[in-house]
Amino acid sequence: MRIRVEGVSKRFGKFHALKNVSLEVRDGEFFAILGPSGSGKTTLLRILAGFEFPDEGRIYFGDEDVTFKGPEERGAAMVFQNWALWPHMTVYENIAFGLKVRKLPKEVVDQKVRWALKLLGLEGLENRYPHQLSGGQQQRVALARALVVEPKVLLLDEPLSNLDARLRLKLRGELKKIQRELGITAIYVTHDQEEALAMADRLALINKGELVEVGTPEQIYRDPQHPFTAIFIGKTSTAKGRVVERGDGLARIAVGENIITAKAHGLNTERALVVFKSDLAKARPREGYSPLTGRVTVSMYMGSQVEVRMVPKGSEEELVFYLAEQEPPPPGSEVTVYLPVEGVHAYPL
Amino acid sequence: MVELGRRFRDRVALALFLLPTVYLVTFFVFPVASVLLGLKDFDWGLLFSPFYFNLEPVGKMIEIRSFGPRTFVIVKGVDVGVVLNSLINSALVTLFATLIGASVAVLTALFDFPGRRVFIFLASLPLLVAPFVNAYVVKLLYGFNLQGNTISFLLKSLGFDVVVGFTKLAGVTLAQTLAFFPIVYINTLAAIMAIDASLIEQARNLGARGFTVVRKVVLPLAMPGILAGATLVYILSLEDVGAPIVFNFKNLVSYQVYEFFQEFTSIGGVGAAAALCVIMLVASLVPLAVVKKYLSLRYYAKLSRGAPRPFERMRLGRVGMAAAYLLVLPVLVAAAAPQLGVFVLAFSERWVGALPQGFTLGNFEIIFSKPGVFRGIVNSLTYAAMAVPLIAVLGFSAAYTVARETVRGAGALDLLSTAPLAVPGLVVAFGYFIFLHSVAPGSPLDPLTLPAAVLVIAYVARKMPFTVRAVFTGLLQTPKEMEEVAESLGATRGTVLRKVVLPLTKRSLLAGLLLSSIYVLSEVSVSVTIGALGGDVVDPNHAGPITFVIMRLIQAPAFGGGAQPQAVAAAMASILMLIEALVLFVATNRLARRGQSLISV
Ligand SMILES: Nc1ncnc2c1ncn2[C@@H]1O[C@H](COP(=O)(O)OP(=O)(O)O)[C@@H](O)[C@H]1O
Ligand SMILES: [Mg+2]
């Protein structure tokens, strides 16, 4: 099912939670909505589910305008952040709920519940109550309960955030696989950039209620059109620079006494905001990399990497880089790091 | 003792545990248990006389007669003997009160509709208790009365020439249902408010509509609150003497026990009274055992921990609107009317028939001018002033122990400190009488010597639970680490309690004490039994508290000088209700923290 959000705004009192958000989710797509906490992700998802109505704008499921339809009539199944399993129902009853509400015959309900139990590896747990399950199992029940009604769209609000890191990784893979197999349209809200990049076919970045950018994970990571995206994705640090030379999507930028090559994004000003992708920096020279020399303030050993904080020559802003295969340089010493073009993005300032 | 001491962290902890435990064992467990002492020499065979159990019902449930154009509909109820009457009446009251209370709670908590606040106001009004006077006004409004009642008057002015009236057991059932359903309402409401929004939203998201959501999700999740409320109503109904006295229906267990204290010669004497108390106790313990879990502080803690995300109310559909306005609203109005009627009666010269007559402030003057009447107020305030400091110390200690200690004794104290809510007051009163009169005859603790002391002791035991609950929730919302950090910085336990715990929980403590004190002031069971032992109202130095005086005024035939004694009782009850309203408002709006439900049990 294709989903369209058109110019949606939502206020809570004076607070502007969503500002003129438009986006389109393709049929069968895994679409992630990524943003810092408080940016309006949940609000947008709740508007899609019909729990809130927008002050302005419209929501379409396919060609149908569902903007003011109640949650019961949308056929959009939601997985809540806390999973919202009913504590007084068994696993079976939880999963069967949506089917029983649809008044399906008992055999059909049973058959579909069995299918969902099997799909999520929950067989044998059907008579347990939620509190008798582990976190991962509870998460699966919540997912089974949503999938079993064959929703037009699956809405997921940070469904993995209550799990520990290991389990989160495991379920991330399972969830993606199931979505693929069923070909279901999924809208997945998260504040975890890694999760969004790993799972999504496309993702939308949202900040302070505004849609910042939409693209594939590759586009978002490699070619962020908006400084917010550049700063939010990956490990980054920023500095102010002066544009020395411009041309063909690239620019030469002075950061203190260093002159480096950067990807230019709509750069039409003299001064630039330079975003460094900290973990793309190298400790040794390479073809096409720009050197950046400065004085070390702090360095820390981090296992596979070394964190180096340095102030570039002729500058006062501290930058952070993560270098592989390197001893931590002593504070006060001079260090040079080498930056690839896709590791430096310049925006008008 | 040494063994017990070792399981506590230090002496302070041990002391905090022992204080309330020893008090409650001595002044609650022993007295209640000693009811059994009264059974000595009692011939149980006596109980199987038709007076107590009568399988051939006497009387007609409803009598309908016509005199000319006028039809009389008299609802009487049948008489099946003292014990069966009580059980059946309390079961019916519980059933009706639960149906009404739970419906109103679901309706107002889950749905949005025009007039919702009016419903809430009407349903909350009967939470202000006006002992005896409420039942008296119920009788004026709906009771069968040859001089006519208000409801029939209204029917007549609408063009129906029908006289409707409740009398005898049916009157008792009606009065109790109207007075007690808010207890189910408030408990159900608290349970519904504790449901996280996502549980309701998920159901709607999967396609469930209004009534399905209620039936499949809300009601099961609110069941603990409904059951807790229903059990309390059942117990309150079993022990109530107000409605039986007003409707002059004596064939109830509560009335028989009450009567024992009037003459010490109820039919069958001490033995029969003790046997009836045992029956009352057993009858209340059975349902209690079922819902015991839901009444414990620790269970309560689960409900109040962490604020659930509040849910959006659903729009009420057409059928729902019809049900709300045609079914629920009339019941609410009918239940709130007696409460308002108490105020009307307080300002009336006379109200014996369908309508009150004459406006006067005289009833309030009489409160102050008749020494025996005024004495009741002085007594009540004195008792409350003595009971409240004790409740503060004991209640705080109990709450702290249950909230912070994990030893087994703490679990027992949890049960012990809420049990007084669940044991009929008449059983407690009778137990005190037997216990103290036999353990300490002639001493100041013998109720026949000094009822005042016994009243204070009993009030502390019976009304402490409200303070324990309030402090307990306050403690739950105060992380234990705040105390631990003070200890790690070298503070002694005493200092920690004084400098950290008390300041952080004092609002809850104050809220609890306010609640406890209004329930002390409006206590009935012990007040009208033990309280009657120190002389009658005509004696200006009697020991009876306010509720005792109110009862006597309700029973009084007439004063010299023309004022209606029941109207004076209403004036006293109005003052009591105003104090209750004020306290409830302050305690719930000013002192309770968000999400803390104080008045539900
Ligand atoms: N019902 C509401 N009333 C008032 N403010 C709200 C409400 N729901 C969300 N907000 C506010 O809107 C902003 C966005 O919230 P939300 O959509 O939950 O953010 P996210 O899910 O991205 O963390 C937050 O600042 C939040 O406080
Ligand atoms: Mg959120």
Model pLDDT for residues B370-422, shown as the tens digit of each residue? 888 999 999 999 999 999 999 999 999 999 999 888 777 888 898 898 888 88
pLDDT of residue B299: 62
Boundary-marking domain end, from B220, B250, B280: B250
Report if residue B21 sits inside a domain: yes
Yes or no, beta carbons of B208 and A97 under 8 Å apart: yes
Nearest to B113 by CA among B291, B324, B295: B324
B595 pLDDT tier (thresholds 50, 70, 90): very low
Please state which of the ranges A89-98, B156-165, B488-497 shows the lowest mean pLDDT: B488-497
Say if the Cβ atoms of B202 and A51 lie within 8 Å: no
Q: Is the ipTM of this complex over 0.85?
A: no
Q: B442-476 pLDDT, tens per residue?
A: 777 787 778 899 999 999 999 999 899 889 888 88
Secondary structure (H, E, C), B117-134: HHHHHHHHHHHCCCCCHH
List of chain B residues whose C-beta atoms are within 8 Å of the C-beta of residue A77 = 205-206
Rounded to an integer, the average pLDDT of A229-245 is: 92
Q: Is A209 helix (H, G, I), strand (E, B) or coil?
A: coil
**A93 falls in which pLDDT band (50, 70, 90)?**
very high
Average pLDDT over residues A214-222: 94
CB contact under 8 Å between B205 and A77, yes or no, is yes
| Residue A59 to residue B351: CA distance in whole angstroms | 64
Q: What is the pLDDT of residues B476-506, one digit of tens each?
A: 878 888 887 887 777 888 888 888 889 888 8
Q: Give the distance (Å) from ligand 2 centre to CA of residue A42.
A: 4
Q: Would the CB of A37 count as within 6 Å of ligand 1?
A: yes
Atom of ligand 1 nearest to the CA of A206: 22
Over the stretch B242-256, which tens digit does the pLDDT of each residue have?
Answer: 999 999 999 999 999
Query: What domain range is B463 assigned to?
Result: 2-43+365-557+569-592
Three-state DSSP state, A335: strand
Q: Is residue B50 assigned to a domain?
A: no
Q: How many CA atoms lie within 13 A of B537 on its CB side?
A: 22
pLDDT at B297: 66
| One domain for residues B380 and B434 | yes
In a domain, B262, yes or no: no
Element (H, E) at A3: strand A3-12
Which CATH number characterizes residue B440's domain?
1.10.3720.10
When divided into structural domains, chain B yields a total of 2
- Flag whether B380 is in a domain: yes
Would you give the distance in Å from CA B293 to the centre of its chain? 20
Q: What is the pLDDT of residue B418?
A: 84
Kindly state the percentage of chain A with pLDDT values over 70: 100
Q: Identify which of A9, A10, A14, A15 to mutate to test ligand 1's pocket (most ligand atoms within 8 A of the CB).
A: A15
User: Domain end: B219, B250, B281, which one?
Assistant: B250
Residue B518 falls within a domain, yes or no? yes
User: Which of A150-164, A318-332, B302-316, B571-585 shows the lowest per-residue confidence on average (mean pLDDT)?
Assistant: B302-316
From the CA of A157, the nearest ligand is 2
Q: Residues B186, B77: one domain? A: yes
- What mean pLDDT is predicted for residues B565-573? 93
Across A226-239, average pLDDT: 93
A42 lines ligand 1 (CB under 6 A): yes
**pLDDT given at position B559:** 67
Report pLDDT digits (tens) over B294-329: 666 666 555 555 567 888 888 888 988 999 999 999
> What pLDDT, on a 0 to 100 scale, did the predictor assign at position B598?
47
pLDDT higher than threshold 80 for residue A5? yes
Q: Are B28 and B110 part of one and the same domain?
A: no
By the 10 Å C-beta count (0-12 exposed, 13-18 middle, 19+ buried), B131 is classed as buried
Under the banding of pLDDT at 50, 70 and 90, the label for residue A143 is: very high
CA distance B241 to B231: 18
Using CA atoms, how far apart are residues B315 and A223, in angstroms rounded to an integer? 47
Q: What values do phi and psi take at A181, rounded to 5?
A: -60, -40
> Are B40 and B271 in contact, with CB atoms under 8 Å apart?
yes
> What is the Å distance from ligand 2's center to B498 Cα?
41
| pLDDT band at residue B600 under the 50/70/90 scheme | low
Measured from the CB, is residue A38 less than 6 Å from ligand 1? yes
User: For residue A43, how far is its CA from the centre of ligand 1 (angstroms)?
Assistant: 6
Ligand 1, atom 16, residue with closest C-alpha: A40
Atom of ligand 1 nearest to the CA of A13: 4
B382 and B236 in one domain? Answer: no
Minimal CA separation from B322 to chain A, in Å: 22
Do residues B549 and B423 both lie within one domain? yes
Please list, in sequence order, all residues whose beta carbon lies within 8 angstroms of the beta carbon of residue B517, skipping any fewer than 6 positions away: B384, B387, B388, B463, B583
Contacts of A147 (CB under 8 A, 6+ apart): A77, A116, A119, A120, A154, A178, A182, A184
Q: State residue B550's pLDDT score.
A: 94
- Let me know if residue B483 belongs to a domain: yes
What element of type H or E holds B277?
A: helix B269-295
Residue in chain A nearest B198 by alpha carbon: A84
CA A100/CA A119 separation, integer angstroms: 20
Measure A232 CA to nearest chain B CA, in Å.
29
Quick one: B120 and B17 in the same domain?
no
**Statement to judge: residues B163 and B39 lie in one domain:** no
**Residue in A82, A84, A101 nearest the CB of B208:** A101
Nearest CA among B524, B578, B171 for reference residue B342? B578
* Span from the CA of A77 to the centroid of ligand 2 (angstroms): 17
B373 and B398 inside one domain? yes
Average pLDDT of span A148-153 = 92
| C-beta A209 within 6 A of ligand 1 | no
pLDDT at B306: 56
Query: Hey, is the C-beta of B202 within 8 angstroms of any chain A C-beta?
Result: yes
pLDDT at B560 (0 to 100):
63
Atom of ligand 1 nearest to the CA of A39: 22
Q: How far is B505 from B514, CA to CA, in rounded Å?
A: 14
The length of chain B, given as a count of residues: 601
A177 Cβ under 8 Å from any chain B Cβ: no
Task: Assess if residue B298 is contained within a domain.
Answer: no
- Whether B32 and B151 map to the same domain: the answer is no
CB contacts, 8 Å: A88 with chain B: 220-221, 223
Does B177 share its domain with B218? yes
- Report chain B's mean pLDDT, rounded to a whole number: 87
Residues B133, B39 share a domain: no
Is the separation of the CB atoms in B572 and B548 below 8 Å? no
Please tell me whether residues B39 and B66 are part of one structural domain: no
Provide mean pLDDT across the span A44-50: 94
Please report residues of A whose CB lies closer than 8 A to that of B312.
51
| CA–CA separation, B21 and B32 (whole Å) | 15
The minimum-distance atom of ligand 1 relative to the CA of A209 is: 14
**pLDDT, tens digit, for every residue of B18-75?**
999 999 999 999 999 988 888 887 888 888 888 888 888 888 888 888 888 888 888 9
Q: What's the mean pLDDT in B335-351?
A: 92
- B315 found inside a domain: no
State what percent of residues in chain A have pLDDT above 90. Answer: 83
Out of B233, B250, B267, pick the residue that ends a domain.
B250
d(CA B405, CA B398): 10
Specify the pLDDT at position B148: 82
Q: Considering the entire predicted model, what is its pTM?
A: 0.85
**Confidence bin at A334 (pLDDT 50/70/90):** very high
Q: Which helix (H) or strand (E) holds A207?
A: strand A202-207
